[in-house]
Structure 1
Amino acid sequence: MKDEKITLTAEATVFYSPGDESAFFTWLKAMTFVHSVRGSGRCLDIVMNPAAMNEYDLRELLALFYRYGIDMKQLSVFSDGSQFEFLRDRRGYWYKHIFE
């Protein structure tokens, strides 16, 4: 991927307590590849720089999306090329959520 930014959307994310919501945003803000986060209605747009990501970063993003029930199909954008080959591992807990 080039140095272009991509936007992923978290729609109608459910938080079970104020602490849960705080944990979500703390986790998201700790991701150094996240450029900005902006909300509009029930959607949260997460703008990121995929060129700044490594395997650890993508695994953290997978976990965040899985934990908070965010549509993981949009993570298929990372499946092209060889940088994140592990993403195509059918044994991964994420596989069916992204590719099926």
Structure 2
Amino acid sequence: MKDEKITLTAEATLFYSPGDESAFFTWLKAMIFVHSIGGSGRYLDIVVSPAAMNEYDLRELLALFYRYGVDMKQLSVFSEGPEFKFLRDRRGYWYKHVFE
């Protein structure tokens, strides 16, 4: 996963106001490991660079996906390496959403 990019998809994300939508994109764009954001219609592709991520970054991504109802199962790809071993902690609020 070193230099490769991973595409995550947010499908039919529900925003409750223009400010809510703005907050989502502001949060997403502030993540330095996000390489690009694009898509059309119901699908938003979020291309990330895992090599540029640390534990704090993945925790921010988990929080964003959780808050906005983005499918968190796709984040299980990060559990393969030792750098994000916290992701496999069954006590984490994210665990069921990512692995079950």
Q: TM-score range by the shorter chain?
A: over 0.9
TM-score with structure 1 setting the length: 0.98
Aligned match of 2:62: 62
Counterpart AA for 1:34? V
Counterpart AA for 2:5? K
Give the C-alpha shift of residue 2 in structure 1: 1.4
Aligned match of 1:19: 19
Matches within 5 A, 1:20-35: 20-35=20-35
Count of matched residue pairs: 100
Aligned match of 1:52: 52
Structure 1 vs Structure 2 CA RMSD: 0.5
Q: Deviations over 1:40-92 (max 9, x none)?
A: 22000000101000000000000000000000000000000200000000000
SS state at 2:83 partner: coil
Unaligned runs of 5+ in 1: none
Paired-residue identity, %: 87
Task: Give the distance between the partners of 1:81 and 1:34, measured in 2 at CA.
Answer: 19
1:81 matched to 2:89? The reply is no
Q: Which runs of 4+ in 1 moved over 3 A?
A: none
Aligned match of 1:72: 72
Unaligned runs of 5+ in 2: none
Task: Give the distance between the partners of 1:39 and 1:13, measured in 2 at CA.
Answer: 12
Q: Which has the higher helix share?
A: 2
